[in-house]
Structure 1
Amino acid sequence: MNMRTKEFTLPETETEAVTGAEWWRSAVIYQIYPRSFADANGDGIGDLPGITARLPYLARLGIDAIWLSPFYRSPQADAGYDVADYRVVDPLFGTLDDFERMRHQAHALGMKVIVDLVPNHTSDEHAWFQAALKSPPGSAARARYLFRDGKGPHGDLPPNNWQSVFGGNAWSRAPGDSQWYLHLFDRKQPDLNWDHPEVRAEFEDVLRFWLDRGVDGFRVDVAHGLIKAPGLPDWGGHAAMVEGAADHGNNTSPMWDQEGVHEIYRHWRRLLDTYPGERMMVAEAWIAPQARLARYIRGDEMQQAFNFDYLLAHWDAAEIRAVVDSSLAASAAVGAPTTWVMSNHDSVRHTSRYGLRKPGARPKGIDAAGEQPDEALGLRRARAAALLTLALPGSAYIYQGEELGLPEHTTLDARYRQDPAFFRTQGAEIGRDGCRVPLPWKADAPSFGFGPGEKSWLPQPDSFARYAVDRQDGVSGSTLELYRQLLRLRRDYALGTGLLEWQSAGSPDVLVFDNGTLRGVINLGMQPVALPRGTLLVASEPLETHGELPGNTAAWLTLS
């Protein structure tokens, strides 16, 4: 990595502008996937100037913060999660000056800025790894990574039986090299050795680099994976993303959720606390049960952790209520807020998942040969789910395009796919490209207004035209206007800092809850039900019959 850079100090007025008392406890945070948000220069890839130009749209939406997926220098083997230099903006996305302008504008509009941090692994093109390949076994350069001798009489077998999250063996050898190196993801993403003091010192300096430039927080990628069990013992399980914790009990595996990760985050927390403005961290950690996940958000560690149990919940009232209860209880036990998230860049969009025969199921991508979701039903359920999610106390995350009701691209041709999981599994996993397709801004423009021309790094389906921003902006009943209304009411009724109290529903398919003077009701069944008492504030669909809530519909009522 680069040498330590000189200290950067924000102007006093900007330092004051980004302060706030524990803003992260109730914030609505919007995930921007930079290459797919907005393209300013017409090369078909979204960039930082494109984000800056669209910030007023996000301010009008009513979000509190933006989280940017990686924009650092990278060969883009895993869409930027293979970082070659943590202090340099990749030319694909612009320059450090472009980042400064974007951050300044976001703060001026009242929005915090969270950036991705990828500490589990680097790119194989990172200077450290290149130095390691040029150094002999046992060298100081190799000690920063997890190089090991192979098994067998000639060392031709991997050091253990670990498998990559993306499929295939988790060990590779560079051509002509006698040793193997660990990569829990793609072979171009070698895992760092977090028992090495240089690795720890370097990442603390990376944190300072971005904190000095005014970022308000970090989303920590693979937060549960930094420390591996001593000796790297064999393991009979299979590492998987998001659903892995629930399906395989990853907290017992030798590569996930080792006790040593907590010491790292306590150090980081002390560093963040030396900066003004309540800087925060959110953990991407695939861990079950919730009590294990809550250990990452104890008072001296991170402030938030993504709630993947909620993302994985099926369209089932009892299951959703159980997840909400367990989440709130686990977070409360450590004095932390709960996060609520329905989609992200690693999962099939929930608008499409809710339209499957088993609504809420999480396939590893969808292609033309797979089950095609019921698009209208999926959107109807997604709109209803938004009324539940945004009424819950805690922090909520919105994945870009969710506010448009955007579905998965479920017919993307294989020749366009770029997800390493697709290639490492020989297509057995369709991969994540379908949820990463560039956003539609203008229905009748080239690339649907994503950029000034026709280029788009992934092709957009024709159906995106009807979801474009300009087709929904100012249109009563559109999903975009629904989200704007929900976020305004969420703030007006202080739902993020409220208290959830379940009420009698009268049907196993219905959830009724109070949060302060707001009453929410969501009908997950197909048949209409009677609305509880209260004055209607908003409904996810028109209520054609007075006093009845249709199936797959939700409403907010006021009790005051």
Structure 2
Amino acid sequence: MRGLFNNILRSYGLLSAFLLVTVVAAVVQRDVNTQLITPATDQNLTWWQTAIFYQVYPRSFKDSNGDGVGDIQGIISELDYFVDLGVDCIWLSPVYKSPMRDFGYDISDYKDVDPIFGTLDDFRELIQEIHKRGLKFISDFVPGHVSSDHEWFRRSVKRDGKYTNYFVWSDGKLLDNGTRVPPNNWLSVFGGSAWSWNDERQQYYYHAFDPHQIDLNYRDENLQWEIKDSFRFWLDYGVDGFRIDAFSQLFENENTSLDEPLSGNNVPPTEYAYLNHIYTADQPDSLPILTSWKNVVDDYSKQDGKVRYLVVELYAPPNVRNKIYGVGAVPFNFDLISMGTHPTGRDIFSKVMDEYINLPSGKWPNFVLGNHDQKRLSYRYGAQYVNVFNILLLTLWGTPTTYYGEELGMLSANISWENTVDPQGLGAGPERYQLFTRDPSRTPMQWSNDFQAGFSTGNTTWLPLAENWATLNVKTENSSSQQTPYKLYRQLAHLRKNQAFQTGTFRAALVTDNIVSYLREGTLQRYLVIMNFGQETTDDYRNYGGPAATVVAITPGLTGVQEGQRLSLDALKLEPGQGVVLLLDPNFVPTIG
């Protein structure tokens, strides 16, 4: 086993010495020569630092009335599922009133629940029932744009008083032939121009997404007050925090005569990736607005002593997203989402270390493997690797977020153009929709092998069920006599309550093209986590022999190894997509260096 630690430099060339990451919420000191990260002080952890977050996409979680669409009462009926699974906080995607052109991300009233999901009374009951079970709840909030059906937009079109400048309006520009065109070349995330003409107002309006999702103008102080008042409305209902949607697009450059430069990407000129979005994404004006929202949330915490959480969605490198920490919020870390089709062990470990090494002093890391905007984990990296990615997510230092169904290994559905409903997919057209559609990752939750996978009693569902729903479901996986993805996830979630995984150290062990392994060391217990992300069966630990360890979690299908078994590392052979979590003998002290 000593060779395991002495050979780190050979197995992972990035490290110039054995890497030690001590993971407590603390001010951190770094030695760049040895990549040694140690805490200077300790502090108590808040609930969101120790929690596992679970994203619920409400249309797809549980339907209580048979209309084929999930709803709030459906979620309430399954709240004990979260307790059993071992997650701690529910993040609910939007249930606000909406025409549902983008399925809730086009809000027509920030202070009401859409009837398709229920009522405000249902929402209040949901919060109360969640808190009764000792769980937390954060609400998705979409501050950057509203639906074209929103009263604010209708009144802005009419230049009605304070609403006149709630949105970004432009006269456009006149060509030499007298034709009026948009003021610049800015593109929508969903494709095509980000400017649309309004006949009544005789101006163009800006929309970073769909033409029916109109961007708000945060240079207007009245608008700023309206949004902060909306936060207060839901805080009064008892939410424990918010997830801020599409923060990168909150502001755009005030000078709308500026064209964005070409990106050089080989894509059609109408696609978002055609331009380098230096004027419409991650603008510095966004941070003061975020600070004002954090102040609203903090005011409630000061009143009742309860910690609230503000987490921000933005797809950005560490140097950009770390600015979010500066205002007291937390940026989602999506580095593990986009790593190509077959990331190696070194690729994956490098992404983990990017988060740790670039983390500002005193801040807390987080990891996300999927969400409603991405193809499912099984599609991006292969179904056989879902289990090891879940091991990774739940045993790293930092707050993990799971997308519904990933604990089951749910697949991305194969949805035809004719059945596509996602506006981003529809906007790409029948030839390219599969590159952009988000429908495949939004299919109904698979509760059982009964009618409609136990999701609904209706004859139709808003999206078709994903393939293999009859075997990849809660009931089947929970009742199986064999290890299953669901059972493994539940084991890991409960194991994560152990101090070693909450505040223990993180030490890299063997890292190769196939293997990612590390130690999590607490005050009383130490665990060795080993995962094969490669394409080959490995026995890379064959030379390390003892000491004997106890197997506490294994992936399904791992032969010759059982939970509770005493194991020497030279007996361990892992096929692609297999992994183990081992409890090391207490008297073993690794030799480092």
Q: Secondary structure at the match of 1:503?
A: strand
Whether the aligned pair in 1 keeps the contact of 2:158 and 2:164 (CA below 8 Å) is: no
Alignment of 1:440-455 (within 5 A): 440-445=446-451, 447-455=452-460
8 Å Cα contact 1:251-1:258 kept in structure 2: no
Q: Which consecutive aligned stretches of 4+ in structure 1 deviate over 6 angstroms post-superposition?
A: 247-252
- The one-letter code matched in structure 1 to 2:429 is Q
Partner of 1:353: 380
1:46 shift after superposition:
0.3
Structure 1: which 5+ runs fail to align? 1-19, 241-246, 356-377
Q: How does 1:155-554 map to 2 (within 5 A)?
A: 156-232=180-256, 233-237=258-262, 253-275=278-300, 276-288=305-317, 290-298=318-326, 300-302=327-329, 304-314=330-340, 315-331=343-359, 333-355=360-382, 378=383, 380-410=384-414, 412-427=415-430, 428-430=432-434, 431-445=437-451, 447-461=452-466, 463-475=468-480, 476-505=482-511, 507-516=512-521, 517-525=526-534, 526-531=536-541, 533=546, 534-545=549-560, 546-554=571-579
Q: Is the contact between residue 67 and residue 113 of structure 1 (CA under 8 Å) also seen in structure 2?
A: yes
Cα distance in structure 1, aligned partners of 2:179 and 2:137: 47
Question: Which residue of structure 2 lines up, in the alignment, with residue 102 of structure 1?
Answer: 126
- Counterpart amino acid of residue 378 in structure 2: T
Deviation readout 1:32-70 (Å, 9 max, x if unpaired): 000000000111110000000001011110001000000
- Aligned pair in 2 of structure 1 residues 294, 51: CA closer, same or farther (>3 Å)? same
Contact 1:385–1:554 under 8 Å retained in 2? no
- Structure 2 match to 1:145: 167
* Higher RCO structure, 1 or 2 (CA under 8 Å, sep 6+): 2
C-alpha separation between the residues in 1 aligned to 2:276 and 2:308? 28
Assess if the C-alpha contact under 8 Å between 2:260 and 2:275 holds in 1.
Answer: no
Instruction: Report percent identity of matched pairs.
Output: 34
Offset at 1:140? 4.2
Distance (Å, rounded) in 1 between the aligned partners of 2:363 and 2:315: 18
Distance 1:248 1:188, change over 3 A: closer
Q: CA deviation at 1:530?
A: 4.1
What is aligned with 1:558?
Answer: 583
CA RMSD, aligned part only?
2.2
One-letter identity of the residue aligned with 1:261: S
Number of residue pairs matched by the alignment: 503
Decide whether aligned partners of structure 1 residues 214 and 487 sit closer, same or farther in structure 2, where only a CA change above 3 A counts.
Answer: same
The 3 A distance-change label for structure 1 pair 251 and 29 is farther
Conservation of the 8 A alpha-carbon contact between 1:262 and 1:301: no
Query: Does the aligned pair in 2 maintain the 1:21–1:277 contact within 8 Å?
Result: no
Contact 1:44 / 1:454 at 8 angstroms: preserved in 2?
Answer: yes
Cα offset for 1:121? Answer: 0.5
Q: What does the per-residue CA deviation read over 1:213-240, in whole Å, with 9 as the maximum and x for residues that have no partner? A: 1100100001122122220321024699
Structure 2, unaligned runs of 5 or more:
1-43, 266-271, 561-570, 587-593
Describe the SS at the equivalent of 2:145: coil
Going from structure 1 to structure 2, the CA distance change for 1:318 and 1:250 (only over 3 Å counts) comes to: farther
Aligned residue identity for 2:553: V
Cα offset for 1:173? 1.1
What is the TM-score with the length of structure 1 in the denominator? 0.86
* SS of residue matched to 1:396: strand
Once structures 1 and 2 are overlaid, which stretch shifts more, 85-94 or 200-209? Answer: 200-209
Matched position secondary structure for 2:433: coil
Distance 1:408 1:195, change over 3 A: same
